[in-house]
Amino acid sequence: MSPLTATPSAALVDRQDWVAVVEAQLLGEWRNQEWDQERLLFTGLLDTSVTLAFTCVTPECGEPSRTKESPCYECAQELKSYTGDREAFRRTHRANRSWTGHELQQCLITHDGDRCQRTATNRGLCRSHFSKWQQWQRRGSTFDEYLHDCTDLYARRGTCQVIGCEHEIVTAAHALCGPHDQQFSGHGKMTRSRKRFDEFIVKARPFVRIHQFSLAGMPQGLRAEILYVLQRRDDEGFFVHPTMVRTVIKKCDERNLESLLEITEIEIAGLTRTNTAQRSFLRSARLHLTRLQVRYGYQNPYAGDIWDVAVLGLMASTSRPYLATRGVLDFTEITVAWVKNLVKDWIRHVEPDVVTAGHTIRTAKIASQALLLRTGGHDPTRLRLADMTAVVRDFNLATRPDGLLYSPGTRAQLLNSWRDLIEFGRSTGRMDNVPGDGT
């Protein structure tokens, strides 16, 4: 079995049309309190039953934590090296979050109870107050004197042009906030060309917290796919897990993916146990996006000899009466063409559950092996009773992968499956001339 060959080829699909197809499925109103369509920013409400984001257990903190009943990341980091009374910490601590790039310090200069509205960049001062401080310093003032005596305050500048970023602009040239300007100039001033800026800005994303993710800075189609999958999963009762979504986005970034369908089933299956949330999301993605492709004619689910059960809409089994979401039906080992076509037709028309389909394919495989050795085996119009007898004999001699004979129950099942197939062939006029009833 090779799930790889059953993976839809994203490259075959006309990207532009596919993007429109996915976008057309999106709900106009989705999680209004959490999803900001304009800013492409998801901010999970804390302590709900639908988003994995909770309030930090440090009472004074109130900030988002990824797990229930535990300190937020920042509190946990500080607790590691905290030497005082841990209970007191829990009661009183307030974490400093400036390092995440999400919260930035405001300029220190105050006057008459008002404060300068600009973002601090140097020694706790905004750029304007810092250059003013350098003048005061040259005139012999101390820093404390300056803080005390400087009376003019500045209004906030505009907002950074990265979609979803709320920080103030600190560099006029590119209209970026401090952290984004740092990101942009990370590779040195020599590369600050217009072209490089254009490349930077299409991929730029705001700095987000544990309960957030941003769908800015990615191809339009990928963004639509992620939203579509999240919305389908909402119907199925899955949490939105912001941290997991950020991990998936990072993976797409690193590999320049344009579609979630470029992530193969083999790769998803290979994710370790610590990645179950990601695995669940990526499986949903494959399932829902592939079904969408089938619905809009981008894929023929019945093409080739390996069919992806996720897109066939078959039940898992009689005891698990829900739609199967993964796995394949593999016809490659059915060596006689008419038998292979017969089984395929049977599955398309009867729509059995996946387990039954698997039994029937196994039956057809054994029958093919028997027929391959018979002179008329390749042609259903030339079959004779002796050919059918040979098939039945092979069912009785068939062995499991470990070399043992199948149980009488399984042998009876093989025979029944074969009868069903032949009966189906007859009833649909495919094989009027097959002799006997297969027994």
Positions that interact with Zn ion (CB under 5 A): 56, 58, 61, 63, 72, 75, 95, 107, 109, 116, 118, 126, 129, 160, 162, 165, 167, 177, 180
3-class SS of residue 65:
strand
431's torsion region: left (phi>0), alpha (psi -120 to 50) or beta?
beta
Residues 351 and 149: their CA atoms lie apart, in Å, by 83
In the complex with Zn ion, the residue whose CB is nearer, 89 or 302, is: 89
In the complex with Zn ion, the residue whose CB is nearer, 62 or 376, is: 62
Tokens of 320: 């698990």
CB 207 within 8 A of CB 194: no
Report, in Å, the least distance between residue 183 CB and Zn ion: 8
In the complex with Zn ion, the residue whose CB is nearer, 91 or 255, is: 91
In the complex with Zn ion, the residue whose CB is nearer, 19 or 204, is: 204
- At 90, give phi and psi (nearest 5°): -60, -35
Residues 37 and 29: their CA atoms lie apart, in Å, by 9
Residues 245 and 214: their CA atoms lie apart, in Å, by 9
Report, in Å, the least distance between residue 159 CB and Zn ion: 8
Report, in Å, the least distance between residue 157 CB and Zn ion: 11
Which residue in 176, 174, 154 sits closest to 165, CA to CA? 176
In the complex with Zn ion, the residue whose CB is nearer, 177 or 434, is: 177
CB 245 within 8 A of CB 239: no
CB 173 within 8 A of CB 188: no
Report, in Å, the least distance between residue 221 CB and Zn ion: 25
What does each C-alpha distance from 72 to 104, 275, 315 come to in angstroms? 19, 21, 42
Report, in Å, the least distance between residue 116 CB and Zn ion: 3
In the complex with Zn ion, the residue whose CB is nearer, 160 or 230, is: 160
Report, in Å, the least distance between residue 311 CB and Zn ion: 41
Report, in Å, the least distance between residue 163 CB and Zn ion: 10
Report, in Å, the least distance between residue 269 CB and Zn ion: 36
Report, in Å, the least distance between residue 227 CB and Zn ion: 23
Taking CA 53 as the corner, what is the angle to CA 49 and CA 57, rounded to the nearest 5 degrees? 110
In the complex with Zn ion, the residue whose CB is nearer, 135 or 375, is: 135
94's torsion region: left (phi>0), alpha (psi -120 to 50) or beta?
beta
Tokens of 273: 């146990």
Tokens of 8: 């839809």
Single-letter amino acid code for the residue at 241: H
- DSSP characters for 153-222? ------B-SSTT--PBP-BTTTTB-HHHHHHHGGG-GGG--HHHHHHHHHH------TTEEE--SS-HHH
CB 336 within 8 A of CB 372: yes
In the complex with Zn ion, the residue whose CB is nearer, 110 or 231, is: 110
In the complex with Zn ion, the residue whose CB is nearer, 75 or 364, is: 75
Which residue in 297, 321, 291, 295 sits closest to 309, CA to CA? 291
